[in-house]
Amino acid sequence: MALSGVEIFKHLPKTNCKKCGHPTCLAFAMKLAAKQASLDACPDASEDAKKVLGEAAAPPIRGITIGAGDKAVKTGDEICLFRHEKKFFNPTVFAVAIKDTEAGEAAARKIEAVKTSEIDRVGQKLRVDAIAVIDESGDAAKFASVVKQVVDGAPGVAIILASKNPAVIEAGIALCADKKPLIYAATAENAEAMAKIAKEKKASLALSADGLDALTALSEKVKGLGVDDLVLDPGARKAKDMVEQYTIIRRAAIKKNFKPLGYPVIAFPGRGDSVSEAMAASIGVMKYASIIVLNTIEKWKMLALLSLRQNIYTDPQVPMQVAQNIYKVGDAKENSPLMITTNFSLSYFIVRGEVENSKVPSWLAVMDNEGLSVLTAWAAGKFTASRIAQFIAESGVEKSINHKELIIPGYVAILSGTLEEKLPGWKITVGPREANGLPSFLKARA
């Protein structure tokens, strides 16, 4: 039975040290009771408290790790229904399906696509996370040969073994048990055999059932067989069913603390064409699918899905930021122009991209404004002449350039006069209002 906030508070240090990010131990206890915080946030919690509060502090959706090493991916461990309540923690895992009938060149192309899928977007590395080997032939030897091709061709990439035949799973997992794969899937018919494999190999196990009632019964059964790391598939394939069933699962786990459904969800949004598949997958990203298995991973599709995932799993209460610094763009020299912007990630990468497009090597001063855009930071009093002058003076940029000219964004042209007063000897130049005006502006000065 869940503990109340007051009951949890009795086991906390009661020092009100704020190390957990909350003003008092009581406030932290209330968050624990509401499943909106983890006991790990309290560094001073005693071992006895951890034992007593273990279940109360555990996230309502169990965390599952697939794979091993630096490319292992974690899913689950979520504590809220809506991201603005706290945030979503572990981004949706994208996997590409390779059927065992695609052995050889077709499989090799998909493996290569996974290895080259990484993109850099606003400073984060995004990529396809896993490969799902799908049993289509029913031949254990053929399935195992594709698993071996994946293990050899994409070392470190997380693996999902997809078959409802225990003999096929045994043949595949024999080649990758050390990589902690996800087994898909246990059903009402094969639950005992699949649970036995999962326990022996210490692997996670996905459950597949037709509807939520059947899935609940199967979850309770497999949990009783001693398997703790579970993933759920209620059988939803249509977009309407995905939204409905995934939402019910999430709500039951978060709001009702319903343990049989307190696990990550796996989705198979495969469609006959890539556009439809991308649209269905996007619904999964937005509506609680923890793992999404795709038929294909074209560059355009993954750019869209990875960007969407990044947005959904960004903390809405904390703007994305880059570190305050003076950055070189291209082969900047002593006489290269010096520009300034804020440390809001989107502002930085847009400005940097346009400067790179100009082919004019430059210096870009990025000032810490708590991740706010230029106009927002100026309106909030965090991008003022005094602050800019202090940053430039303390940055040491004068050691890298042989001029004293600073180009400021056109939107804050009003600061130019005061800045020249705050930075004696400096010339303040007003740049374009929009970043897309930078290439022509810089080329005209070159």
Mean pLDDT, range 43-53, rounded to an integer: 85
User: Which CATH number is correct for 64-312, 2.60.120.10, 3.40.50.2300, 3.40.50.620, 3.20.20.20?
Assistant: 3.20.20.20
Q: DSSP for 85-131?
A: TS---SPPEEEEEEEGGGTTHHHHHHHHHHHT--EEETTEEE---EE
pLDDT tens per residue across span 139-193? 999 999 999 999 999 999 999 999 999 999 999 999 999 999 999 999 999 999 9
pTM higher than 0.85, yes or no?
no
Task: Identify the band that residue 72 occupies on the pLDDT scale cut at 50, 70 and 90.
Answer: very high
Q: Which residues contact 263 (CB under 8 A, 6 or more apart)?
A: 61, 62, 64, 76, 219, 230, 231, 232, 253
Q: Where in the chain is the domain with CATH 3.20.20.20?
A: 64-312
Confidence check: pLDDT of 265 > 70: yes
CB-based contact 326:408 (threshold 8 Å): no
Mean pLDDT, range 247-252, rounded to an integer: 98
- Amino acid residing at 141: A
The C-alpha atoms of residue 204 and residue 222 are separated, in whole angstroms, by 12
Report which secondary-structure segment, H or E, holds 364. Answer: strand 362-367
pLDDT tens per residue across span 189-233? 999 999 999 999 999 999 999 999 999 999 999 999 999 999 999
Confidence check: pLDDT of 3 > 80: no
Q: Percent of the chain scored above 90 by pLDDT? A: 83
pLDDT tens per residue across span 280-329? 999 999 999 999 999 999 999 999 999 999 999 988 887 788 889 999 99
Give the architecture-level CATH label for domain 325-445. 3-Layer(aba) Sandwich (3.40)
- Amino acid residing at 416: S
Report which secondary-structure segment, H or E, holds 326. Answer: strand 325-329
Q: DSSP for 120-182?
A: EETTEEE---EEEEE--S--HHHHHHHHHHHHHHSTT-EEEEE-S-HHHHHHHHTTTGGG-PE
Q: Where in the chain is the domain with CATH 3.40.50.11600?
A: 325-445
The C-alpha atoms of residue 307 and residue 315 are separated, in whole angstroms, by 14
Confidence check: pLDDT of 36 > 80: no
Confidence check: pLDDT of 97 > 70: yes
Per-residue pLDDT at 1:
47
Confidence check: pLDDT of 128 > 70: yes
Confidence check: pLDDT of 399 > 90: yes
The C-alpha atoms of residue 200 and residue 177 are separated, in whole angstroms, by 10
Handedness of CA 96, 106, 303, 275 (dihedral sign): negative
Task: Compute CA distances 93 → 226, 290, 294, 366, whole Å.
Answer: 25, 6, 11, 33
Task: Identify the band that residue 57 occupies on the pLDDT scale cut at 50, 70 and 90.
Answer: low
Give the architecture-level CATH label for domain 5-57. Orthogonal Bundle (1.10)
Confidence check: pLDDT of 234 > 80: yes
Confidence check: pLDDT of 136 > 90: yes
Helix %, strand %, coil % of the chain (to 5): 45, 15, 40
Per-residue pLDDT at 329:
95
For the chain, the average pLDDT equals 94
Confidence check: pLDDT of 83 > 80: yes
Mean pLDDT, range 19-28, rounded to an integer: 91
